Amino acid sequence: MPPEGTDDTAHSALSESPRFPGVLGHTTVQGHLARAIARGQLHHALILMGPRGIGKETLARGLACALLCRARPGLGCGECSICRRVLARNHPDLT
């Protein structure tokens, strides 16, 4: 049963081990972002920083899937047409 004051979708995203499509590692960051999405508290802007090659762009695309996916809201399925377009760098809302 979801905690009081939350819906089933939010509870589902909180109880699963979060993993955005295409993202390996960064489990702590993915967990924080998934919880923020589930609670409706994701900030309007995020800065992803670190050395080249650690997966900043991949994490950003996984986050975009989580936000845009209709099949698995809050986490992203990685398989629907929206997720495939995001991961292929071909979604009209992303640059």
Domain boundaries along the sequence of the chain: 8-87
The reported pLDDT for the residue numbered 18 is 74
Does residue 6 or residue 68 have the better pLDDT? Answer: 68
pLDDT tens digits, residue range 40-67? Answer: 999 999 999 999 999 999 999 999 999 9
Model confidence, pTM: 0.77
Specify the CATH number of the domain 8-87: 3.40.50.300
**In the block, which residue shows the tokens 């809302």?**
93
DSSP 14-74: HHS----TT--S-HHHHHHHHHHHHHT---S------STTSSHHHHHHHHHHHHH-SSSTT
**10 pLDDT band (50/70/90 cuts)?**
very low
